[in-house]
Amino acid sequence: MAKPKLALYWAAACGGCDVAVLDTNEKILDIANLADIVFWPIAVDFKYHHVKAMEDKSIDLCLFNGAIRSTEQEEIARLLRDKSKVMVAFGACACFGGIPALANFTNREEIFQRVYHEAPSNNNEDGTIPLLQTSVAEGELELPELFDTVLTLQQVVPVEYFVPGCPPPVDLILKLVDLYASGKLPPVGAVVASDKTLCDECERIKEEKKVTRLYRPHEIIPDPEKCLLEQGIICCGPATRGGCGLRCIEANMPCRGCFGPPPGVIDQGAKLVSAIASIYQGDSEEEIKKMVEEMVDPAGTFYRFGLADSMLKRKRLQQTEGRM
């Protein structure tokens, strides 16, 4: 009986999700025994043409990490979708857009301006920028085109399962592998994590959620026993799915929302506006103004991992013809 075929791919990603799979340490050998890894650019030498030559649906499980922001990433997402029985959006970027999706506050032109021209550390007097096509002596060179808008995997191809996290914790990865191996995968569309909020799972002492000022993480050293929100630190726990093992909380840092919205919440950022504004004590116009000033960057803080997945998906493009 042939072993099931496993593929992994990284789109607009940092490599952390691939490292997380390797972080399963000796259990990676169990994974390698369980499945044939037929494609994994970071670790194995198979190329795109190997995938193109496969029959449709011949890959049993594909763990796709990274968001979609270029023509190449879109093409490979579609290719792997055709060749795979089960497609998993692996990690916060594939699930919600992740950190790359913060580019949705701007557009390709502004990014190119900044990266290739304005950045203070640049040494680019000739103003060289990447071009879609360049002629060199050896022939034509082509580069993928970048989109104005970063997309989640599901916005490009249908996805069966979601494993959130930046990166997904080792035990969730192993849980997914285990569910697959034992044939006990949940109904399609499931998120392999907890169904509660992080706040629910947090073990810190919670008294009354009432604060009179907001602190940014560098402004205060938090008490490691007490609820961070109650100390005035913005913690996304109330509107973030649990199941991460509280790795940040245990490092005395607030939750940043990398597991995405909890069940039943469509827009994580909006829910966080509601939650943070609710616990702030202050009814006078001045106190409210103070709160709004203390909350330095609501959009970036509340949509840190989920801008592509939000209801608006991106900041409004000013030109009447945006690419996406």
Residue 23: strand, helix, or coil = coil
Task: Tell me the Ramachandran region of residue 313: left when phi exceeds 0, alpha when psi lies from -120 to 50, beta otherwise.
Answer: left
Is residue 246 a contact residue for another protein (CB under 8 A)?
no
Residue among 291, 304, 308, 309 that touches another protein (CB under 8 A): 291
Is residue 317 a contact residue for another protein (CB under 8 A)?
yes
Q: In whole angstroms, what separates CA 183 from the centre of its chain?
A: 27
By CB under 8 A, which span of 56-64, 244-252, 255-263, 284-292 interacts with another protein?
A: 284-292
Please check whether residue 41 is in contact with residue 73, taking contact to mean a CB–CB distance below 8 angstroms: no
In the complex with another protein, the residue whose CB is nearer, 65 or 107, is 107
Q: Quick one: 234 exposed, middle or buried, by C-beta within 10 A (0-12, 13-18, 19+)?
A: buried
In one letter, which amino acid is 318?
Q
Residue among 19, 113, 277, 308 that touches another protein (CB under 8 A): 277
Please check whether residue 258 is in contact with residue 92, taking contact to mean a CB–CB distance below 8 angstroms: yes
Is residue 295 a contact residue for another protein (CB under 8 A)?
yes
Is residue 265 a contact residue for another protein (CB under 8 A)?
no
Residue among 144, 270, 304, 305 that touches another protein (CB under 8 A): 270
Residue among 111, 119, 131, 288 that touches another protein (CB under 8 A): 288
CB count, 10 Å around CB of 81?
19
Please check whether residue 157 is in contact with residue 84, taking contact to mean a CB–CB distance below 8 angstroms: no
Is residue 266 a contact residue for another protein (CB under 8 A)?
no
Residue among 229, 289, 304, 306 that touches another protein (CB under 8 A): 289
Is residue 144 a contact residue for another protein (CB under 8 A)?
no
List of E strands, 95-246: 133-136, 139-142, 146-151, 161-163
Number of residues that bind another protein (CB under 8 A): 31
- Judged by the rule CB under 8 A, the positions of this chain that interact with another protein are 105, 269-270, 273-274, 276-278, 280, 282-283, 288-289, 291-292, 295, 297-300, 302, 312, 314-322
